[in-house]
């Protein structure tokens, strides 16, 4: 971790200063956010936008104001309240809707959420669906262990999924109190997914993308570790920043809100690691 902390703070401050205007350009009159300024509002883009502003507001880098306060945006709050209990078919989108409302300060009816989660647990449940249902139970309902312990063995089969799904396994292991079953092999595997360009692939020795960086960084943080090359990770994330103000999946792609959220969250994790070091 022999990185010039002051240098990185200055560099990242300049980069992050351009993010709010990029996000606000996608704020629609309906109150939510869209993938581009000319597309309709979606729950997913609104979730990403709210998380971006929340992370910037609570982050280690102080940005110059005036700062957009999504909790005071009446149109945004109205959009979320209108959609709140119209749960889409996917658990992922349903979680994003409820989580966005919660972050925005809207009271969520926990009985309705509990009923939704109960219905969704019937039949076969994929790891992605289980992950988002667990996040609803753990982060919205405030309950502890949310997955039956007999499911742990299948969840902890390392290396059979992409880093995104392996991160989901780490999260599920944590909320069901099974982190002790994860040995050093888990940390080594996530660290092995980092490439020479500083970014992370879907698996070891695959192409780096910003969403993989976020998945690996939060998995390593949850496991009490860090990437083998902190400076490289910061440089890769910074290299995904575009002249439009947002971030792209890689240095050769177009910027979108999801990639920008992954980048801002990755920067936040990396800065916490630097400050702790």
Please say whether the beta carbons of 244 and 35 come within 8 A.
Answer: no
Average pLDDT rounded to a whole number, residues 142-151: 59
**What does the block give as tokens for 139?**
């982060």
pTM as predicted:
0.91
Specify the CATH class of 5-276 in words. mainly alpha
More confident of the two residues 72 and 173: 72
pLDDT value at 192 more than 50 = yes
Confidence of residue 70 (pLDDT cuts 50, 70, 90): very high
Confidence of residue 2 (pLDDT cuts 50, 70, 90): very low
């Amino acid at each position: 971790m022999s990185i010039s902390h002051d240098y990185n703070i200055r560099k990242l401050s300049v980069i992050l200063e351009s993010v709010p205007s990029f996000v606000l350009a996608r704020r629609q009159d309906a109150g939510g956010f869209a993938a581009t300024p000319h597309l309709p509002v979606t729950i997913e883009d609104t979730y990403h936008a709210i998380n971006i502003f929340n992370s910037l507001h609570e982050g280690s880098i102080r940005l110059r104001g005036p700062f957009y306060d999504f909790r005071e945006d009446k149109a945004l709050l109205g959009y979320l309240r209108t959609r709140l209990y119209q749960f889409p078919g996917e658990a992922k989108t349903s979680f994003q809707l409820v989580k966005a409302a919660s972050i925005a300060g809207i009271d969520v009816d926990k009985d309705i959420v509990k009923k939704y989660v109960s219905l969704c647990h019937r039949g076969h449940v994929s790891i992605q669906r289980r992950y988002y249902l667990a996040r609803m139970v753990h982060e919205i309902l405030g309950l502890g262990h949310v997955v039956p312990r007999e499911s742990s063995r299948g969840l902890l089969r390392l290396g059979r999924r992409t880093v995104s799904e392996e991160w989901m396994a780490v999260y599920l292991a944590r909320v069901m109190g099974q982190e002790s079953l994860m040995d050093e092999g888990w940390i080594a595997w996530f660290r092995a997914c980092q490439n020479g360009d500083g970014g992370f692939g879907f698996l070891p020795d695959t192409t780096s993308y910003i969403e993989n960086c976020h998945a690996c960084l939060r998995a390593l943080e949850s496991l009490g570790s860090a990437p083998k090359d902190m400076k490289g990770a910061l440089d890769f994330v910074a290299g995904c920043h575009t002249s439009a103000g947002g971030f792209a999946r890689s240095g050769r792609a177009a910027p979108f809100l999801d990639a920008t959220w992954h980048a801002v969250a990755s920067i936040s994790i990396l800065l916490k690691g630097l400050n702790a070091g």
